[in-house]
Amino acid sequence: MKSSQSKRVSVDDLEALVRAALSRAGMAPDNVGPVAATIVACERDGVKSHGILRLAGFVHSLKIGWADGTARPAITSETASLLSVDARNGFAQVALDVATPRLLAMAEASGVAVLLTRNSHHFAALWPDIEPFAARGLVALTCVNSKKRMAAWGGGRPVTGTNAIAFATPRPGHPPLVWDQSSSVLSQGDVLLAANEGRAVAPGVGCDAFGQPTTSASDILDGGALLPFGGSKGASLAVMVEILAAALTGGRFGFEDQSPAGPTTTSFGGQFLLLINPGRAQSGFDERVSVLVAAILDAGASRLPGDRRYRQRRISAAEGIDVDAPAYASLLSLAGRSGGAVAQTGGQVS
């Protein structure tokens, strides 16, 4: 429901504004599309922690030269099922966009495709990267390491990022089943949202700069650390992500981050992506997925991972997206537009 403190924007108009902001910050025309699409997808699907909230960080990183919006990814090696890409200090979404035709061909021919991307900035949710592959019938797994923000388990100082992992599978007769989560109890974006809104976070989410437990979102962000979900189990998954997304790709570890001080900058690391073509494995995959999902729902699960996003996507398409007034003002400013700009592009703003 639209609150008096928000603006309603159509998906198309949001995309136009995000594109304008990235272009204005110096991103090359060929690179704008994949990055804008992921930011818009997050806002459209109700993942506010990685939508417009992140745009200022993308823009800032471009403007100070921390990330290169003009870089075109280079394919550095290719085997029958393994593709290595150097994003050259550009964005992971652009590298994936360039690699996708080759990955699809590999998965078709050999049954497996692996993408190792290095020297890349991510800073967004992962499900937009893999949902399209599952929609084409492929099982997909991806992970991205980010700058050190999460305490080593049993130690006080951050070492790994809040390293996200996402999985997607085709589901017969339905949109893909997709989950996507950070290795931390809360994503850094959610802590940032809490800090912006002056809210405390729950106990167990993070610690302050002295390694002491805190519920203050700003203390966590200001030199503190987030904590892994599930204790040592989440911490171990974050370590796995550092191995797959950095050691294997040739990217930087979270603790090697050298991002400039000041406003939020994008994480510079790597991305691992695995695609498996079920058509090359044993037969009956679709039926087995259906059986599993039926058992989960029969056991009383109210929903599957991804269902909330799909529902929000339908609402956004039909009614537009409610954007908080401060986020909307920031969006217009970054896009170099006045308050009436969206209406001029034909969209509905109220």
Q: Contact positions toward ligand NDP, by CB under 6 A?
A: 47, 49-50, 122-127, 144, 146, 161-162, 164, 166, 179-182, 186-187, 189-190, 267, 303-309
Name every residue whose Cβ is closer than 8 Å to that of residue 41 and which is 6 or more positions away in sequence: 125, 128
Q: Are 278 and 112 in contact (CB under 8 A)?
A: no
Q: Which is nearer to ligand NDP, 7 or 147 (CB)?
A: 147
CB of 180 to ligand NDP, least distance (A): 4
CB of 271 to ligand NDP, least distance (A): 9
Pairing mode, strands 82-91 and 74-78 = antiparallel
Give phi and psi for 281, each to the nearest 5.
-100, -160
Helix/strand/coil for 298:
helix
Chain CA centroid to CA 342, Å: 26
Give alpha helix (H) positions in 111-231.
127-135, 188-196, 217-221
Question: Nearest residue to ligand NDP, using CB?
Answer: 125
For the annotated catalytic residues, the residue numbers are 49-50, 190
Q: Which is nearer to ligand NDP, 156 or 175 (CB)?
A: 175
CB of 17 to ligand NDP, least distance (A): 22
Residues paired with residue 271 on neighbouring β-strands, in sequence order: 117, 144
Beta strands in 205-261 (DSSP E): 206-207, 213-214, 225-226
Q: Which is nearer to ligand NDP, 161 or 251 (CB)?
A: 161
C-alpha pair distances (Å), 146 with each of 120, 228, 262:
10, 14, 17
Q: What is the DSSP string of 308-319?
A: HHHHHHHHHHHH
Q: Which is nearer to ligand NDP, 93 or 277 (CB)?
A: 93
Q: Which is nearer to ligand NDP, 162 or 330 (CB)?
A: 162
CB of 350 to ligand NDP, least distance (A): 27
CB of 58 to ligand NDP, least distance (A): 12
